[in-house]
Amino acid sequence: MTRLSLGKWLLPVYSALALLFLMIPIAYTFVFSFNDSLKSNITWRGFTLDKWLNVCAVQNGAVCEAFGNSLLIGAVSTVLATTLGTMIAIALVRYRFKFRAGTSLLLFLPMATPEVVLGAGLAAQFLSLGVPKDMLTIILAHTMFCISFVVVTVKARVAGLDPALEEAGRDLYGSPAQVFARITFPLLLPGILAAALLSFALSFDDFIITNFNSGAVTTFPKYIYISASRGIPAEANVIASAVFILALVIVVTAQVSAAARAKRQARLG
């Protein structure tokens, strides 16, 4: 009885402690976004809403510029990686061609390669080709890195797709383009959206590959790293807190919508 009671409470307590440990940095970031700091944001100087209301003030415009760069790079990289990765995933599942197994292996290599190795290798490649490091090189590096994750995500969705649905569309005299647009793509859309969100998160959060290939361009993670020695500015904490809150709202909204949809389908069924 004692062992059962211990086992019953051990996992919840461990889970609560692990969650608390993960939430401490987020809570610190949120609290210090209200700090009335000057040059340093290491010690608490008092509560203020000024950092939230003037996050892109002239003297702190660098943090917003870095945030905008990360958004732009993440958006472009996501579109490129999702488009190319979806086409590759469909080709790998639906078609048989030479070097298919080798292609699958090569696509998994960026996921298994340490980012420092990947970033240094890309930087050396750009240097040997004489390509100047700027926003374009960051986008190319992020696209190459994210394609693997898109392929893995969409590939699982394509493999789970019932071919009979597409065959039914062709039996009804639908052209290949019509079958893809009206049957295949809508069924793949949840997997494609999941891959796009994952790709954007990886691109927006990346520092190592970006640091090797960014040149003079500053992204939000790079700005945080440079500022960490003197205490991350409260304005950076404001943006980080806003991103976290937005992500939390999106996740909660998606979960609530999915639960409501499942409940409605169960009621109709």
> 202: domain CATH number?
1.10.3720.10
Helix, coil or strand: residue 35: strand
| pLDDT for the residue 3 | 56
Q: Check residue 192 and give its pLDDT.
A: 92
CA distances from 167 to 19, 89, 160, 181 (A): 48, 20, 15, 14
Give the range of the structural domain holding residue 180, as residue numbers without chain letter: 61-235
Q: What is the pLDDT of residue 169?
A: 82
Tell me, yes or no, whether 15 lies in a domain: no
In a domain, 93, yes or no: yes
pLDDT at 154 (0 to 100): 92
What the block records as the tokens of 203 is 């691109």
Q: How far apart are CA 86 and CA 257, in angstroms?
A: 26
In a domain, 90, yes or no: yes
Residues of the chain with pLDDT under 50: none
DSSP secondary structure code for residue 60 in this structure: G
Residue 114 belongs to some domain of the structure: yes
Answer for the pair 154, 195: CB distance below 8 angstroms, yes or no.
yes
Q: How many domains does the chain have?
A: 1
d(CA 185, CA 200): 20
pLDDT value at residue 74: 94
Q: Tell me, what DSSP letter sits at residue 97?
A: -
- Is 38 inside a domain boundary? no
pLDDT in tens, 9-30: 788 888 889 989 988 988 988 8
What pLDDT score was predicted for residue 143? 94
Helix (H, G, I), strand (E, B) or coil at 47: strand
Cβ atoms of 143 and 84 closer than 8 Å: yes
267 vs 8, 253, 262, 263, 264, CA distance in Å?
34, 21, 9, 6, 5
Structural domain includes residue 217: yes
Q: How far is CA 176 from the centre of its chain?
A: 32
Do the domain assignments include residue 215? Answer: yes
**CA pair distance 112, 141, nearest whole angstrom:** 16
The C-alpha atoms of residue 38 and residue 19 are separated, in whole angstroms, by 32
pTM for the predicted model, two decimal places? 0.84
